Amino acid sequence: MKAILRNWIPLICILFSLIISCASNPHSSSRIPDWISYETINHVFPENEYLARTRSGVTPYAAQINADSELSAYFNQNIKSITQAEDNYLNKNNSTTSQKTLSRSITITSDSELIGLRHTDSYFSKKENLYYICAYINRNEAWNLIEPKLKIFTTNFENTKISCKNESEPFNRVILQNRILKEADDFYKLYYLAYCLSPDNTKNYSHIDTQLQKLSQENFNLKNTIKLQIITNSNTSDQIKIKTEELLTKEGFVISQTKTSYLATINTNIIAEKTNEIYSVYPQFQISITKSDGTALANYSKQLNKISSYTKETAERLAINKLTTDLDNNLINNLLYKQWSE
């Protein structure tokens, strides 16, 4: 008997190794997971508990990317439908008044923005020679991750609202309001993600959306009452002055050619100096907003990298172009909008 067992042991080991090998080989899986088919995906991921989308790819990674994209598309379409319906309602009920509504054009562009995102193991279909993966989000788990962030925004929002109410200086009140509005995009991204996942829970934060829209209108109206006189030094080109006026006007302020309660003083350096037959300049820009009595309210300054050329005109023209581009990208955000932590 012992001799017989000794003869069978090597065969048993080989069979066991084959079983383990087949079980670990994705190409050998015989059972098709329920989550592959739209007809049976709810068996694994019930709609009331999960959002789930399955996609295929030539590799597991490609399948995962495609599944994530499908889930992002679901959110984007739903968010677009929700915001359009709300905007239509606002426009219908305010058709006789001029309104400045806060933009809520939210788009999910990365899987990192899909809070609570998970994936199944890949399944390989020998028939199609493709891998399948399901991307899914547990609604309750995602809500538990999102709600603390909504609470933080709500707390900061309420505290800043109190500061706005207590601030009597109009320009300072604009800055405080801007601190809230600067965070609005992040709030809305979380808010509408949460709305798609758990509408009933998200309704507890709908009043923040309403108040943000009201604040945006108040902010716009307040800026329209603030008149700024632009003052420049002798080195400031007309192009720099015009660009600054354009940006401040677009933001909602009124530009005055006569003395007002608020001054915007611009200092620039675009004068190129000659060294060893090369003209060089470090373009500089500074703007300070003050009250007519000299009280400082806001400022922004920037020095750009050195610009060189064989001619003075070219160096200074390039300096003006560089400063203009920087103003487009940075002036308003750095001059008028601050983080809550700043």
Please write the tens of the pLDDT for every residue from 200-244: 999 999 899 889 888 988 999 999 999 999 998 877 788 899 999
Work out the percent of the chain whose per-residue pLDDT is above 70.
82
If you average pLDDT over residues 150-174, what whole number do you get?
Answer: 91
Tell me the average pLDDT of the chain.
84
If you average pLDDT over residues 132-138, what whole number do you get?
Answer: 95
**Residue 159 pLDDT exceeds 70:** yes
Instruction: State pTM to two decimals.
Output: 0.71
Domain covering 227-335 in this structure, CATH number: 3.30.160
pLDDT-derived band at 6, boundaries 50, 70, 90: low
Classify 18-138 by CATH class. alpha beta
Output 291-298 pairs: Cβ under 8 A, ≥24 positions apart: 291/171, 291/261, 291/262, 291/263, 292/259, 292/260, 292/261, 292/262, 292/263, 297/169, 297/171, 297/172, 297/175, 297/262, 298/171, 298/175, 298/335, 298/336
In tens, the pLDDT along 138-147 reads: 999 999 999 9
- What pLDDT does 27 receive? 38
Domain boundaries, the chain: 18-138, 140-223, 227-335
More confident residue, 261 or 27: 261
In tens, the pLDDT along 93-104 reads: 554 344 445 555
CA distance 209 to 86: 11
- What pLDDT does 92 receive? 56
**Dihedral (Cα; 269, 270, 273, 277), 10-degree rounding:** 160
